[in-house]
Chain A
Amino acid sequence: HRFDTASGEASLRGDGLRFEPDGLQFEDLSERLRGLAVNATGQVIPTVSASWTSSDVKAAGQIELQSVSFSTFRLGQVINLSGALNFNDFINFKTPPGQVFTVERLQITPAFGLENGRISLELLGTQGFQLESARWPFVGGELRIEPTRWIFDEPVQNLSVSAEEWELSRLINLFDIKDLDVQGRVSGEFPIEISGANVFLRNAQLSSVEDGLIRYQGALGEQASTADQYAKMAFDALRNFEYEVLAVGADGNLTDEIVVDLALSGHNPNLLEGQVFNLNISLQSKLAELIQSAVMSASGQATSDALVELVKQKQAAEKN
């Protein structure tokens, strides 16, 4: 500190702080961070240099995060986030663009998580950040969140998610549906609305980028045959269905109930001489339960009842 000009600088090279459940937490760094994240663990290494004149104090520095984990209200649990925040204005909690992080796992709901994320952002102060890019490898392709401004206190946050070459077979595996073999890939973009504790999928539309094949030999087929001849025909077609057109739609709330619509056009070469079918299959479920229940197991004793509601297309069927 130089008394003549009342200015000086100092730098703090912390040997590292450790977030612990009963110890240091975000709100201890700054009360303004209370409520953003709870139960933080992991290593934080701050290097802050401050310089001041008689009129103001400027502080810059870096906070390095090593395998930091915490829970949030809107996005669930962040597990092992690592990277560095380089502050050009530490006091106002601002950084230049291009602060890059890797996130080992983002567990949004008990049933849905994303692994090995790569995120780039610019901190805009304690009110939020500008998300520059966020991408995860996902079911053989990639899931990306398009650039957006994330404001902590904003009750509703809208995101646009793009799906890049998702392999249907691996997407279906997320739902743990046995006896369903699907080949083909889909891409597309869809809006997500995060409001309160809900993560709404708003009419996501993904379409096939190539022809593909679906083979389903599961229990639903047998149950259907008793219920209705059209359903039986649909399931017979699905035993070996070569499709040209396929669209996957999803709507609902990731933390609650999701409706997945599968719209297929194609044929089963050994059914009615390759008669063309337009199949519109709507799968309604609470995502968590679908994953937990072996409802479509080959053995047929579904642990939960699979209710096949049949909507018949009389006109289409009678026309031929």
Chain B
Amino acid sequence: CTPTVRVATPTEPITINLNVKIDQEVRVKLDKEVEDLITNNPDLF
């Protein structure tokens, strides 16, 4: 018989779930920036 070459066909797909969460801690500086915004615009706040 003729030698048959068995090509390694890729088996069942491998399923991988990957969750990437990109976080940046809210810097305290923000609080002050917003505080200034409110006090500098009394007609709006």
Per the bound structure, the CA–CA distance linking A312 and B12 in Å amounts to 16
A316's partner among B15, B18, B23 (CB-CB below 8 A) is: B15
Per the bound structure, the CA–CA distance linking A230 and B16 in Å amounts to 7
Once the chains bind, are B14 and A317 in contact (CB under 8 Å)? yes
A286-320 Cβ-contact flags toward B at 8 Å (1 or 0): 10011011010000000111111111110011011
Per the bound structure, the CA–CA distance linking A304 and B14 in Å amounts to 30
29 contacts between A and B (CB under 8 A): A231-B18, A233-B14, A234-B16, A272-B10, A273-B8, A273-B10, A274-B10, A275-B11, A276-B10, A277-B13, A278-B16, A279-B16, A280-B18, A281-B17, A284-B19, A284-B21, A286-B22, A289-B24, A295-B22, A304-B25, A306-B21, A307-B21, A307-B23, A311-B19, A312-B16, A313-B14, A313-B17, A317-B14, A319-B12
Asked if B28 is at the interface of the complex by the 8 Å CB criterion, the answer is: no
Asked if A72 is at the interface of the complex by the 8 Å CB criterion, the answer is: no
Asked if B20 is at the interface of the complex by the 8 Å CB criterion, the answer is: yes
Once the chains bind, are B11 and A281 in contact (CB under 8 Å)? no
Which residues of B are found within 8 Å of A40, using beta-carbon distances? none
Asked if A265 is at the interface of the complex by the 8 Å CB criterion, the answer is: yes
Asked if A51 is at the interface of the complex by the 8 Å CB criterion, the answer is: no
A306's partner among B10, B13, B20, B25 (CB-CB below 8 A) is: B20
B5-44 Cβ-contact flags toward A at 8 Å (1 or 0): 0001011111111111111110000000000000000000
Binding site for B on A (CB under 8 A): 220, 230-231, 233-234, 265, 267, 272-286, 289-290, 292-293, 295, 303-313, 316-317, 319-320
- Which residue of chain A has the shortest Cβ distance to B11 in the bound complex? A320
Per the bound structure, the CA–CA distance linking A198 and B16 in Å amounts to 33
Which residues of B are found within 8 Å of A230, using beta-carbon distances? 14, 16
Binding site for A on B (CB under 8 A): 8, 10-25
Per the bound structure, the CA–CA distance linking A210 and B17 in Å amounts to 23
Q: A275-B14, A316-B12 are in contact. Are A293 and B20 (CB under 8 A)?
A: no
B18's partner among A272, A275, A282, A319 (CB-CB below 8 A) is: A282
Once the chains bind, are A304 and B10 in contact (CB under 8 Å)? no
Once the chains bind, are A265 and B13 in contact (CB under 8 Å)? yes
B29 to chain A, nearest CB (A): 14
Which residues of A are found within 8 Å of B19, using beta-carbon distances? 282, 284, 308-311
A233's partner among B11, B16, B25 (CB-CB below 8 A) is: B16
- Which residue of chain B has the shortest Cβ distance to A313 in the bound complex? B15
A282's partner among B11, B20, B24 (CB-CB below 8 A) is: B20
Q: A273-B8, A276-B13 are in contact. Are A234 and B18 (CB under 8 A)?
A: yes
Once the chains bind, are A304 and B18 in contact (CB under 8 Å)? no
Once the chains bind, are A283 and B20 in contact (CB under 8 Å)? yes
Q: A313-B15, A316-B15 are in contact. Are A281 and B20 (CB under 8 A)?
A: yes
Once the chains bind, are A313 and B21 in contact (CB under 8 Å)? no
Per the bound structure, the CA–CA distance linking A273 and B24 in Å amounts to 39
